Structure 1
Amino acid sequence: MKSEEIKTSEEDKFHIPAEVVSYDERIKVLNHSDSFAIFDRWGDIHVYTKTAQGIFHQGTRYISRLELRLNKKKPLLLSSSIKEDNDVLSVDLSNPDLIACNIQENNLHILRSQFIRNGVYYEELSFINYSNQACDFDISLLFEADFKDLFEIRGIARTLHPNPPQISSKDNRLFFDYGGLDKVHRRTEIIFSENCECSIRNNLVLFTLHLKPHQPHKIDYLIVFRTNEQFLTSEKEKIYVSDFEEAKGLMRNELKKIHQLFADITTSNEQFTHWINRSKADLVSLLTPTTHGLYPYAGVPWYNTVFGRDGIITAMEILWVAPEVAKNVLSVLANLQAKEFIPAKDAEPGKILHEARSGEMANTGEIPFKEYYGTIDATPLFIMLAGMYYQHTADLLTIEKIWPNIKAALHWIDHYGDIDGDGFVEYKHKAENGLTNQGWKDSHDSVMYKNGELCEPPIALCEVQGYVYAAKKYASMLATAFQETAYAEQLAKEADDLREKFNTIFWDESSGCYALALDGNKKPCNVVSSNPGHCLFTGIVDEDRAETLVKTLMGEDMFYGWGIRTLSAKEVRYNPMSYHNGSIWPHDNALIAAGLARYGFQNEAMKILSALFSASLFIDMQRLPELYCGFKQRSGEGPTAYPVACSPQAWSVAAVFLLLQACLQIEINALEKTIVFNKPELPEYLDKIVITNLKTGDDYCDVELFKYAYDIGFHVTHKPEGWNLIIKK
């Protein structure tokens, strides 16, 4: 028994334990580009052994403590909230009784405004004295910087012994310096505005304020996160904007520009519209500048970096409302595509990246994720996205640039992905400390036989075969566009052969479902899971089996109020509190809903949309997290939170757009210059939808949809010249 426990622990060492976040303390999250911050509701950051609070930059915690005090006392919390555009944390505080200063509670108002931009944290403290007499009091800010790697905070033990940080100060600046074991010098530089009269004592910054009745006062400061090449000190060379209002204005202008990448959607239901707007704001905050365009980082806090699978699926979910994101994702991942065989990275020529990390533990090799390729599905998904993007935009120039990458990815599928030459794509990790499971359900226990025993590799997942099928179908279309007729015919035949073989071997009549996977001996894992729902999305499912599969997916053991579970409640390993074996993932449900609609089951797709919309109404900020627990729906209660779920998470907040597309069954085809609504349906709580700035080639379309008793009405206010809008009823 002990040896099994040790083995399980080793296999699952990259699992995120629940104790790294204490959910007794509600948190507030800010993120921008390579930086994010986790505060308590007071806007403070505390030093606790098992919490992830802090300000992080490029995978390292640059601030581990930030505490505001009035005469050494904690302020009283009035309220705190993230502004609607997801840019600023606004915290309203007041004073406790300050007897020594003769100030009764709730006479001082303190407003903390906090945001992050381009590797710099900004804070403005605004004070107003609402009493009828002048008052004197002390303000202190306590800082610490431990420079811990994010993976160390997640619970991965260090194999090396890091150096202690050093602290120093000069004038109105406080410095924390850390010499990394990866030869990177990291610095946290805290800078107070020149008009602030403060004293710095070690890591404590002190101010003494004298405020007359109704007199306001402000304290501004910023924190710059630096690495080797950024130690620039002269004013002419500084790499940041120092003025609080100027930086905030620049940030808001940048966010406004990114918002323009998206179509605008409003509805007759204010709460549904808020869900859309919140999701868009979260996506905008996760879109991070790279040398090849804005890329949707996977999620905060654990995945604030480039992930191949997450970026691709996010781009698919929002393709119809923001096609530019797909173009960027394709460009970034093509540039990062593996070019050689490196077992330590699970890299093989043509394979698409799983994730890239830049923290100290990645740089020293303590974790394998500096550039890691341990994913079985990102490569066919990359090809799928390329085909979907081309069909949507007719942007042949972009596809031409990455056509060699698409061909290399197709070569990887046939020569590396199919390990045993049986026609199916499977995985078995080569990196010594790489991921055991390499599909989207990548926890160590997510693939099992009917009796609950874990599947033996190499493992061929059902949804991966669907991705490969769709990849070859789309690649055939692209080959035709480049007049490579023989290659196009070959790819189309390979796709059709795979579909026939898949439906013969993976289908399990007794469960009315496709097997989750085949093991190395081709023994099926005949458990009912959500994975076959992705097969509907790709179109690999035979028409005569679709209805049976849909009934299985929508049965009470799978769908119970808040969405479709990852694993049936009837299975041995079902656990509604697990990461992948009974929980509910919004992106998973969105892909399934799109698949349901593809096969004509729009009523079922609307049930999923309604389930996730209902869940959003109970969740803070209407922000769907990475996942939540798969318990049965209880009257008057929301879904049960999963303790370490990322929020915001790109493919989760993007789910609403694919869910809406599934109900409307809208398809934009720039090759044929058509916008098609194929038997669109709207749920009972949406009487009207207005879509504007919907990208169609170089132009846009504006359309309104109205729900009537037995029909959907349309009003087109702008349509591109030469395009046709087709409504099928």
Structure 2
Amino acid sequence: MDLSRNVVLKENYTFFVGDPDVQVLPGGEHGLYNRDTRFLSRYQWIFDRTFQTLRVYSQTPDTVDVHYAAFTSSFQTVGIRRRTVVDATSLVDELVVENTGTEPASITIALEADCDFADMFETREWQGSSRGEIPVTPIDEGSGIRFRYIAEDGLGFQTVVVSNTPVHRLKGRRFEYLLDIQPSGSSTLSVRVRIENPLEDDCRAVTYQGWRSTAPLGHADMADTGHQRVLERAVDDLRALLLFTPEGCVPAAGIPWFVCAFGRDSLLTAMFLLPWWREPAEGTLRYLSRHQAVDYDEYRASSPGKIFHELRFGELSRTGKVPFGPYYGTIDATPLFVMLLADLIRVTDDHSIVHELRPAWEAALVWLEKDGDPDGDGFLEYMGSAVGDGQGLPIQSWKDSDDSMSHADGSLAEGPIAPCEAQGYAYRALLSGADLYDVCGEHSRAEAARERARTLKSRFHAAFWLDGLGTYAMALDGDKRALAVKSSNVGHLLWTGIVPESHSQAVRDALFDSDLWTGWGFRTLGRGERRYNPVSYHNGSVWPHDTAIAAKGLARYGFVDEAVRVRTALYDIAAGQSDLRLPELVAGYDRSAGPPIPYPVACRPQAWDSGALIYLLDLNTAT
């Protein structure tokens, strides 16, 4: 499915995915979703004549306006102005039908609605489904219908579709309207779809106006350029991506299929938004600490102190048929958790959250030293799930596709894998932990953490630096053999500060070598490597958030001109898109006229991409 062609709306955990005409046709992935359950599997307006869709426009990510037109010869005879709005628990649809012709018009319009309460893993065909047809019940004296479903764990779910306009006939799942409209007259149809999900929290949301009030929209570097509109779009998308929880707001990873908290994605996005917004950092830290692992569970890849990778609420996750409620198979969320907390107190000087979350960040530091380093060699490593088991992730670093960790000969790495960037995160997490201990007045423990960081920095350089490659290895495999391939991962090393000053220029040169730099960003895998493929998920594509982290790392080591060059390239990508958004990733071809070659199933908007555009506004700070 080409996600760039979908119409996507979102508010909190509720999102709508429709086709280019804002219709939900049966048999596909489209629908109205809440917390990983589909509450509408069909929502289709049917007209008695041919209408063209002349415009689809979304001012904010929770609302879309559509204009349909029926023509006779070269002029419109009937126009329909439709507005669809999604809020936290409902969809509201209004159609204003106008007779723009010279004769009275009789118009028949029908709405077909259906619901399957499918888990998102089923709708995307990641898992099979055994549900039959969901029964429907008429309600409100024939003005609405109700779908009910009792899940395997006993939770009850409902979808209620109510017409606020008198219905000519309601038959099963079909609403029919007969409209008689005089010339220059109009008639309005209004429908509300209400979601009833027992998992939904009643949490206060920040308004778009309130969110924009602290946004860096007047940044000098964006003045009088087309990039200003890109920035404005990113600000609105970041508000749309927020999930509102009892712990505070948390960035969802992406729309439409990742409307949930992801450890890595949510943490990085919250980090990117400092100092402009502190609330996502506070909410993310509190939310993740609430769900921090306390025991060992091989199925969920959990161990005490670990921060989760992903938390889903669908029936399959709740009943344990898939391990995502939550799933802990990630090497990097735990150090990123400690890093974000230290970054937060640096920009707010509010130490209360350090004391509040002390059990969580101390448990995370213990995990780094123990379960995060199972063989005790001082490096973070993961042993992923078996490839093809259909459950957990074989690769548990950010490049989590099955074939992303390869040697120079193209063979895949085996055994516990130590990604280079995870060592950088561990290094910075140790320094962050030292800062947190200083806040608590425990200076001896702070110095011990700094000494561990110094030791890691030295050992890392000795084990990962490759003179022949002129840069760092992408990872070490289970036999401690270096993955001697050029990769964008090394940009993260600059970002964390683990690279010695003496080697920072070499890393910069490696990044801007033609094997990695495309003019749009940095290839995930070098063009000369055996597994390079420009249109792949992680073996040669360009990921904007990955490139942005490298840009911030370049600035950290004083390469500000290079960082500005990268920032401009990323803003250029977004400015060349019809929706002014950064795609999740683009193909790794060299830059030429026109926008970059798209990756066909890239999500948009993606939280860390929108956040990266904010993060790169200030290239004069170290983090």
**TM-score, scaled to structure 2:** 0.95
Residue in 2 that maps onto 1:345: 300
Q: Which moved more, 1:265-274 or 1:421-430?
A: 265-274
- State whether residues 62 and 87 of structure 2, in contact with CA within 8 Å, keep that contact through their aligned partners in structure 1: no
1:8-27 matches, within 5 Å, as 21-22=1-2, 26-27=5-6
Partner of 2:65: 90
- The answer to whether the 8 A contact 1:585-1:628 is kept is yes
The one-character-per-residue Cα deviations of 1:394-418 (angstroms, maximum 9, x if unpaired) are 1100111012211100000111001
Matches within 5 A, 1:718-729: none
Give a deviation string over 1:477-528, Cα, whole Å, max 9, x none: 1111211011011000000000001111100111111111111111111111
Match of 1:411 in 2: 366
Deviation track 1:306-336 (CA, whole Å, cap 9, x = no partner) reads 1111011001111122122211111111111
Residues 628 and 642 of structure 1 are in contact (CA less than 8 Å); yes or no, is this contact kept in structure 2? yes
Find the counterpart in structure 1 of residue 332 from structure 2: 377
Structure 2 residue 608 is matched with structure 1 residue 651: yes
Q: Is the contact made by 2:338 and 2:429 (CA closer than 8 Å) also made in structure 1?
A: yes
Residue by residue over 1:214-259, the C-alpha shift from the partner in whole angstroms, topping out at 9 and shown as x without a partner, is: 11221111111123589xxxxxxxx99xxxxxxxxx99x8222233
Equivalent residue number for residue 262 of structure 1: 215
Structure 1 residue 471, shift from structure 2 partner: 0.6
Question: Which residue in the other structure is 1:705 paired with?
Answer: none
User: Equivalent residue for 2:57?
Assistant: 81
Contact 1:381 1:467 in 2 (8 A): yes
Alpha-carbon separation, structure 1, partners of 2:251 and 2:264 = 11
Letter in 2 for 1:81: Y
Alignment-mate amino acid for residue 75 of structure 1: F
d(CA) in 2 for partners of 1:573 and 1:561?
Answer: 21
- Indicate whether 1:188 and 2:164 are aligned: no
Structure 1 residue 147 displacement after superposition: 2.3
> What CA distance in whole angstroms lies between the structure 2 residues aligned with 1:86 and 1:62?
19
**Residue 36 of structure 2 is aligned to residue 65 of structure 1:** no
Rounded Cα–Cα distance in structure 2 between residues aligned with 1:558 and 1:334: 37
Preserved contact between residue 560 and residue 633 of structure 1 (Cα < 8 Å)? yes
What secondary structure does 2:161 align onto? Answer: strand
Query: Does the 8 A contact of 2:556 with 2:622 survive in 1?
Result: no
SS, match of residue 81 in structure 2: strand
Query: Is 1:275 paired with 2:223?
Result: no
Letter of the 2:617 counterpart: L
Q: What is the CA–CA distance in structure 1 between the aligned matches of 2:600 and 2:155, rounded to whole Å? A: 33
Three-state SS of the structure 1 residue aligned to 2:617 is: helix
Residue equivalent to 1:294: 249
SS in 2 for 1:455: coil
In the other structure, the counterpart of 1:30 is 9
SS at the partner of 1:504? helix
Question: Which amino acid is the alignment partner of residue 221 of structure 1?
Answer: V
Would the aligned equivalents of 1:94 and 1:105 in 2 still touch at CA under 8 Å? no
Amino acid paired to 2:455: D
**In angstroms, what is the RMSD of aligned CA positions?**
2.0
Q: Which residue of 1 aligns with 2:618?
A: 661
1:509-548 CA-to-partner distances (Å, cap 9, x unmatched) read: 1111111111111111111111111010000001111111
Q: What residue number does 2:269 align with?
A: 314
For 2:143, the equivalent position in structure 1 comes to 172
Aligned match of 2:598: 641
**Unmatched segments (≥5 aa) in structure 1:** 1-20, 98-102, 231-238, 241-249, 669-729
Give the whole-Å Cα distance in 2 for the aligned partners of 1:650 and 1:269.
26
Q: Are 1:550 and 2:519 matched, yes or no? A: no
The CA distance in 1 between the partners of 2:32 and 2:598, in whole Å, is 24
In 2, the alpha carbon distance for the partners of 1:342 and 1:224 equals: 37
| 2:192 maps to which of 211, 214, 222 | 222
Deviation at 1:666, TM superposition (A): 4.2
Q: How does 1:507-526 map to 2 (within 5 A)?
A: 507-526=465-484
Partner Cα separation in structure 2 for residue 330 and residue 188 of structure 1? 33
Give the aligned residue type for 1:88.
T
Partners of 1:265 and 1:321 in 2: how far apart? 12
Residues in 1 aligned to 2:442 and 2:555: alpha-carbon distance in whole angstroms = 32
The answer as to whether partners of 2:556 and 2:621 remain within 8 angstroms in 1 is: no
* Percent of matched pairs sharing the same residue: 34
Bigger drift between 307-316 and 626-635 goes to: 626-635
Deviations 1:102-146 (A, max 9, x none): x99611110110111012011111122112222111111112222
1:193-272 to 2 correspondence within 5 Å? 193=164, 195-228=165-198, 254-266=207-219, 267-272=222-227
- Counterpart-to-counterpart distance in 2, 1:539 and 1:217: 63
CA distance in structure 1 between the aligned counterparts of 2:542 and 2:36, rounded to whole angstroms: 27
C-alpha change, 1:261 and 1:346, in structure 2 (3 Å) is: farther
Secondary structure, counterpart of 2:66 in structure 1? strand
Alignment of structure 1 residues 308-457 onto 2, 5 Å: 308-429=263-384, 433-457=391-415
Separation in 2, partners of 1:667, 1:196: 62
Cα distance in 2, alignment partners of residues 41 and 430 from structure 1: 38
Closer, same or farther in 2 for the Cα pair 1:325/1:261, shift >3 Å? Answer: farther
Task: Map residues 586-601 of structure 1 onto 2, 5 A cutoff.
Answer: 586-601=544-559
TM, length-normalised to structure 1: 0.81
Q: What is the aligned partner in structure 2 of residue 304 from structure 1?
A: 259
Kindly indicate whether the alpha-carbon contact (under 8 Å) linking 1:441 and 1:580 is maintained by their aligned counterparts in 2. Answer: yes
User: 1:178 is aligned with what amino acid?
Assistant: Y
SS at match of 1:188: strand
1:415 and 1:394 mapped to 2: Cα distance?
31
- Does the Cα contact within 8 Å between 1:340 and 1:348 map onto a contact in 2? yes
Q: Could you tell me how far apart the structure 1 residues matched to 2:15 and 2:199 are?
A: 21
Q: What SS does the aligned partner of 1:356 have?
A: coil
SS in 1 for 2:381: coil
Q: Determine if contact 1:165/1:179 at 8 Å carries over to the other structure.
A: no
Alignment partners' CA distance in 2, 1:396 and 1:412? 23
Equivalenced residue count is: 615
Matched residue, 1:673: none
Partner Cα distance (2:50, 2:253) in 1? 35
Counterpart Cα distance in 1 of 2:448 and 2:198: 51
Structure 1 CA distance for aligned equivalents of residues 448 and 252 of structure 2 = 36
Whichever residue aligns with residue 77 of structure 2, its letter is N
What letter matches 1:68 in structure 2? Answer: W
Cα 1:473–1:228 change in 2 (3 A) is: closer
Label 1:540 to 1:666 Cα distance change in 2 as closer, same or farther (>3 A): closer
Give, in angstroms, the shift of residue 42 of structure 1: 1.8
Cα distance, 1:177 vs structure 2: 2.5
> Cα 1:161–1:617, aligned 2, differ >3 Å: closer, same or farther?
same
- Aligned counterparts of 2:126 and 2:15: Cα–Cα separation in 1: 20
TM-aligned CA distance change 1:198 to 1:256, over 3 Å:
farther
Contact 1:343–1:430 at 8 Å: present in 2 too? no
In structure 2, C-alpha distance between the alignment counterparts of 1:265 and 1:471, rounded to whole Å: 33
Distance 1:528 1:658 in 2: 25
Q: CA deviation at 1:96?
A: 4.5
Q: Which letter maps to 1:645?
A: A
Equivalent AA in structure 1 for residue 180 of structure 2: H
The structural deviation recorded for 1:74 is 4.4
Question: What does residue range 489-568 of structure 1 map to in structure 2 within 5 Å?
Answer: 489-568=447-526
1:154 and 2:129 are equivalent in the alignment: no
CA displacement 1:79-104 (0-9 Å, x = unmatched): 11111x3231010111255xxxxx99
